[in-house]
Amino acid sequence: MTRLAGMLLLAAFVAPGTARGADVPEGKWWKHPRVAAEINLTSDQVREMDAIFARARPRLIDGKVELEKREGDLQDAIESNADRREIAARIEAAEAARTELQKTRILMVLDMKQVLKPEQWDRLQRLRQEFRQQRRERFGRFLERRRGDRPR
């Protein structure tokens, strides 16, 4: 039971969040033909996005590794029944790593935003909302199918 409680605590406070670094579609969105066409990206803009991403990538990788280490340290502390003070310190370290990674992502997206015209950015935001809505709808349909398979 103690292990289960530890895992639940870890999931509640440390599991990677679903929030993105900023309000843009996931991944290298500027490489997706549909997105590029919808917002009228030029080849120069794509090159600039690639350069921005290339500059940020080492910090993103390091930040992700650091976050995973800190989350592992926290999980180890919880599973070993460390005292409250030690667990609190490891929570702080994990959250500091998460904050630093999020800051890197947001600054990268801010640099990318500067490459786009205002109307391109606005269209990108609308696409993001459409993607999120489609994902929610697919998940809802999945849940409905799962509920339909269960005996009541």
The Cα angle at residue 21 between residues 17 and 24, in degrees rounded to 5: 110
Using 50, 70 and 90 to split pLDDT, how confident is the model at 131?
confident
Using 50, 70 and 90 to split pLDDT, how confident is the model at 20?
very low
Question: pLDDT higher for 26 or 63?
Answer: 63
* Residue with tokens 């015209």, as numbered in its chain: 117
Phi, psi of 116 (to 5 degrees): -90, 150
Upper half-sphere CA count for residue 40 (Cβ side, 13 Å) = 7
pLDDT at 12: 41
Question: Mean pLDDT, to the nearest integer, of 119-126?
Answer: 94
Residue 12 corresponds to which amino acid?
A
* Cβ–Cβ under 8 Å, residues 131 and 25: yes
The Cα angle at residue 109 between residues 107 and 115, in degrees rounded to 5: 115
pLDDT at 75: 97
Question: Mean pLDDT, to the nearest integer, of 124-149?
Answer: 86
Distance, CA of 87 to CA of 64 (rounded, Å) = 21
Residue 117, pLDDT above cutoff 60: yes
The gap between the terminal CA atoms of the chain, to the nearest Å, is: 29
Q: How far is CA 94 from the centre of its chain?
A: 15
DSSP 8-state symbol, 92: H
